[in-house]
Chains A and B, each alone.
Chain A
Amino acid sequence: MKRDKKIPAIALTAAMCLAAVGCGQSPASSETTASSENSATTEAAGQAATEAAAETTAEAEPAEEVTLNFWHHYSAQSPENETLTNVLIPKFEEENPGITVNAVSHEWADLHDKILISAQSDTLPDVARLDSAWVPEFQKMGILVPLNKEMSDFQDVADGLLESAMTTAQIGGDSYGLALNTNTKILYYNTEAFEKAGLQAPATMDEFVEDCKKLSGTNDAGQQVWGYDEPGLAGWNLCPFIWSMGGSLTNEDQTKATGYLNSKETVAAIQMLADLYQEQAITGWNSGDIPMTDGFGTGRYMMLLEGPWKVSELAGAYPEFKYSTAPVPAGDGGSISVLGGEDIGMFNTANKDAAWKFMKFMTSEYAQEEMAKCGQIPCNKEALESDTVKNADFAPYIEQLKTAKSRPTVASWSEIDSELTASVTSVMNGEQTAQEAMDDLAKKVDALLAE
């Protein structure tokens, strides 16, 4: 009996050990803490600026005080965030006395989840910078304001912004956001490797396939090298190939996938990538592969499709590395890349007048030009013509943007995207043929689109 009494004691010790394990996990959450601390200083800076602005204007115009909550995912330490808090918000507050902007920086993935949670507890911010891929989900939840219906001067504002970028927030004829900044992917290639092999940047998909094969193999150090790297098999990764080769994911109305996702052209694009993978000419999406920037910077991957952010990443990590850029190789469908970028939208709990003023300000020529200085490609047509943009090496992206397309703006996109990844993964690993996989996938996607 004496023995039995020890068991609770042992249990207690064990529980304490478990608690210690729990503590061990805390570094995972420290990042978010860091960013919220940063946003706290952001707020403080913002408020200080407001006070300064208030001193000059308060006496003249005793307007009603409004605090606008603006959530975004400019990283806390980034130049974008600095421009936002030190240049743009003070300027906006000066122009609009009585409105205080409380900007909060979140991690990209956090912001999506935070908005989901806040929607449920009625604590949404007024305005948010949204990854364009999120807009359909939030629209379906019914928390985004249809701007064209509620804002009388919507059309004037929309006309001043890039049409292609505006389509990312267009659902069923209504617009749920303004295009804030845009981007797309272009071809990056290793200049030295191409010169050594006597090659030029591939202009067509056929040349791309040839170059991938020629540039893969083993390097002087005996390491394996690949002609091309693709870090995933989602729509963001596959669409440039599918579209450029004349394929598509759905019909124009985004209601049907059969006949599009399993069309001859789409299947050919997937098959082309699978063949290249089988020949070990491309790689990148496996868990064990070298990360993209490292592989490219150290000459293991010869080509990438990437966006404007890669320039600063490469300059930071591999300043000596020489690379050039070119348009996406053209196929039967032309040279078509995939649209990325962000929209700015307001939630239906917002103070709509103030929120709309802020959204117009953020998409104005002035704000867009300031953000362009930090590497954000503007959507404002006038800002695109400014000297800042012309001097900023955006030219290849702006050229590619003319034909770039947005991924389907449907609420079930993330599920479709994940099914697409799973199907194409099985093709890559030789478990199914591209035609079989795409036939099955098209049926699943039809069901998801009908939901």
Chain B
Amino acid sequence: MKLKGKSKAQIGLLLLPGLLIFCIFTVYPIIRLFWMSFFKWDFGSFLSQKFIGLENYRSVVTDPYFQTSFVNTIVYTLITVPAQMILGLLVAILINSVKKFKIGFRVAYYLPVITSWVIASLVFKYVFNTEGLLNYFLTNVIHVTGSNIRWLDSRWGGMTVAMLLGIWKGIGWNMVVFLAALQAVPQELYESAALDGAGSWQKFRYVTLPGIKGTVLFALVMLTIGGFNVYTSTKLITDGKPGHDTEVVLTWMYYKAFSTGKFGYSAALSFIIAFILGILAILEFRLMQNKEQQ
């Protein structure tokens, strides 16, 4: 059905405020930031900038601190994304099959999601401090070690704590998403699979998984973006210590812009990350499409 001119105008008018806000607060800053990334933009050139082409991009890529933070981010994403999805799916399947207290379980698993990142990070820091709860438990309650273990003081120690927090906080979201998807898988398919003699693993493999594939893909893309956006937890738990070893791309970007005034550098960094994320999203979609065709 074709829309009449009048209703088209109406739609345009109704969309206008949202579109304007989107343009002013999203599109314009992105364009401006892209522009900035080609200029020398720091304390010495704050009011009059010089065009330096791809120099900012070069200095980001060759910066050893950026490389460290990038590796940290990749590891964080590679570990937290599958862990959240697998555990979230597992919990969703379990909740889907229990008969009683379904809502109670759902609330319990969803609670970490609605907890503030700041508070959860501080609590995790408190637990894993050298003088924290976990060490107290290990040394004074069950006497596993004689001296305190310094969880937070090394690169992978600090990153592991941040990853644990990410997984703990992410399970609930995955559970809700997968639960909705599971309920959308037609019950008849399970019944006919059962008639064909499928066991529970086969049902999961050949009925459930294909049925929720769209959701798996969706969660994968969202969580990959989320993994690259990790900031609050690492900032509060280790703040890059020791010596920028636990920096992730966003904390490094913030640090370079607001502590050292290198705005051009940070603008370039943000576009490098956006580019990588875009490629990753396309790859993930391709991967899923290929599977579908098989």
Contact = CB atoms under 8 A, between A and B. Distances in A.
- Decide if A and B are genuine partners: yes
Interface of A: 3-4, 6-7, 9-11, 13-14, 17-18, 20-21, 24-28, 112-113, 116, 119-120, 137-138, 140-143, 224, 285-290, 411-412, 414-415, 418, 421-423, 425-426, 429, 451
Interface of B: 43-44, 46-47, 65, 113-119, 125, 128-132, 147-148, 150-153, 158, 173, 176-177, 180-181, 184-186, 211, 214-215, 218-219, 222, 232, 237-239, 241-244, 255, 258-261
Contact of A17 (B176, B244, B260): B176
B47 A141 contact: yes
A288 B152 contact: yes
A18 B130 contact: no
Nearest to A295: B131
Contacts, number: 139
24 contacts: A3-B214, A4-B214, A6-B181, A10-B215, A10-B218, A13-B177, A14-B219, A21-B173, A25-B118, A26-B116, A28-B232, A119-B46, A137-B261, A138-B43, A142-B47, A287-B153, A288-B128, A288-B130, A288-B150, A288-B152, A289-B153, A411-B44, A418-B244, A421-B243
The 6 closest A-B CB pairs, nearest first, are A425-B243, A422-B243, A288-B130, A288-B152, A287-B152, A141-B46
Contact of B241 (A3, A28, A287): A287
B184 A6 contact: yes
A288 B260 contact: no
A286 B260 contact: no
A422 B243 CA distance: 4
B28 to A, nearest CB: 13
Contacts of B44: 140-141, 411, 451
B258 A119 contact: no
Contacts of B238: 287
A21 B226 CA distance: 11
Query: In terms of DSSP, what is the predominant structure of the interface of chain B?
Result: helix
Contacts of A4: 214
Contacts of A287: 125, 152-153, 158, 237-239, 241-242
B153 A10 contact: no
Contacts of A141: 43-44, 46-47, 261
Contacts of B125: 287
B40 to A, nearest CB: 10
Most B Cβ at <10 Å: residue of A4, A14, A25 = A14
A140 B261 CA distance: 11
A10 B177 contact: yes
A14 B177 contact: yes
Contact of A286 (B43, B130, B258): B130
Given A116-B258, A286-B153, A140 B43 contact: yes
Most A Cβ at <10 Å: residue of B114, B125, B242, B259 = B242
Nearest to B210: A3
A18 B118 contact: no
Contacts of B242: 285-287, 425, 429
A119 B47 contact: yes
Given A120-B46, A411-B43, A422-B243, A13 B153 contact: no
A411 B259 CA distance: 11
A136 B117 CA distance: 35
Contacts of A28: 116-118, 232
B152 A286 contact: yes
A70 to B, nearest CB: 22
Contacts of B244: 418, 422
Contacts of A451: 44
A26 B238 CA distance: 21
Given A286-B153, A287-B238, 11 more contacts: A7-B214, A13-B176, A13-B180, A14-B176, A24-B117, A25-B117, A25-B118, A26-B116, A421-B243, A422-B65, A422-B244
